[in-house]
Structure 1
Amino acid sequence: MHTSKISVTTRWSDLDTQRHVTSRTYEDFFLEGRYLQLRELGIPSDKILETRNQFRIQEFKISFYKEQNLHSDLDIISHLYLLEGGIFLWVQEALEKDSNIKACSSLTKGKFIKDLDTNLIFSGQYESIKESLDLRFNPIAQFNGNCDRILNNYTMLYSDRGMFFEYNNSSLLRILEESRWYFSTEIGLNEKVIHEMDMVTFFMGADVKVYSTPEAGEKLLTKVWIYKIDKIRLFMRIDVIRPSNNQVIISAQEEQLIVSLSKRRPRKANPDFVEKIQNLVELKDF
């Protein structure tokens, strides 16, 4: 394992409608940390660009622990592991600079399309952390057909691509975020209704599996539903589908915390909300 650190400060443009730092911002910070770490290890970005050695994401996970606001100073800690088969695993954390409290963590697993000189990094020694991986990455169950789903068309943005004309974690999170907002709109959750129900959900994290990379400008279909409601937590499922062959190219499961707006603390789902989504819940044990 190799560990490195960079320092960042959140900006006005990093905030969302709740005035919190967005999940996509953290993934951009983590992306910066990954490539700066490779530079420390003797694999500079210009060499990666020169050889057009794109990193292909297989799966990633993001989890949130403490909200961050404008001008938060954070340390991005990156731990890099090499797994068998040339698989790279980054375990990363965003820590408050002054308190060292964890704000966010991320796992990114994938492989470069061309072999890197891993002897520079690990002296040729593979690391086995399967037990740790089993605890960290959560499995995503296939849809069992027991509920309705909200469908939405999504076009991959040309302007979201990186230097290799690829989509990074933050771009893939944008698909999920847009699908989540569309879901809320379709079930009639607007600002007025949210205040009347005294209930909102906070995005706490997601497991994302990438089976096939979307193409720029590709027209995709997203299907969104609630996997289950567990007391004060809601688990949302999103499948991203390539309509040409009906292939699921990305699957995600999100965890959301149900919170009272007035009391700013967790609560059970409002009965009116449950009524709105009851036909969209796969495991109806609430």
Structure 2
Amino acid sequence: MEKSFDSLPDDRKSQLMAFDRLLTIMDELREQCPWDRKQTIQTLRHLTIEETYELSDAIMENDLPEIRKELGDLMLHIVFYAKIGSEQKDSNQFDIKDVLNGICEKLISRHPHIYGDFVADSEEAVKQNWEKLKLKEGNKSVLSGVPGSLPALVKAMRIQEKARGVGFDWDEKHQVWEKVEEELKEFRQNFDIESEEVIDKNEAEGEFGDLLFSLVNYSRFADINPETALERTNKKFIKRFQYLEEASKADGKSLSEMTLAEMDEYWNAAKKLGV
């Protein structure tokens, strides 16, 4: 049911006015700015990916002011794509209205437990019905909704989540951990780096991939996001290593001339300091 602008509460009016301001600025930039006039959907793609990663960084740091700023940058890109879409001279033409109505209709159709008579009393029931609805809409595979260009770790997680949505999953957590141990044992038995035997790198890579995939699987059962967990470890390592660099330099030492034991002293000092 559509509402008139005057009947809306003041906060919604201010939100719509802010959105209208952005649309107006986008129209002006597209018409008057040489750089904005030159852009295409293709030229914006890599910039959008960069902005998405910048938002991810802000979320990892829980930096709300930065999150707000990065969301604005992404919103600009969405409006920019829609503006370019409105300039098409064929049946592929679309504008921001079509984009917004499209996602509204999708959300309504994918939530029959809210906008229909389907009953879903748990998050798991919602997810399973979501996948069933996507198949009814024409998806040939449950996994077809996983973007091919996703980073491998994120892709593994999404593949497993999609499979779980139709019931293809382990029943118990201990079963998943047993699989992790099985893959680790198999990898160590066949690819012992301490031995003198020549290792088939392709085969070793495949087995190592199986081990990582099983660990990602276990992380789901432990309610841990593996991408977030690994990125936090990356950031922790960077901070401690930079402490090692700065503290050793302050003591007149050079990393290239230090032993690992000497480096470990600074590393452990960083840990004690909570770095």
Q: TM-score interval w.r.t. the shorter chain?
A: under 0.3
Rg larger for? 2
Using structure 1 for the length normalisation, give the TM-score.
0.22
Greater helix fraction, Structure 1 or Structure 2? 2
Structure whose residues are more often strand by fraction: 1
Instruction: Tell which has more relative contact order, 1 or 2 (C-alpha 8 A, sep 6+).
Output: 1
The TM-score normalised by the length of structure 2 is: 0.23
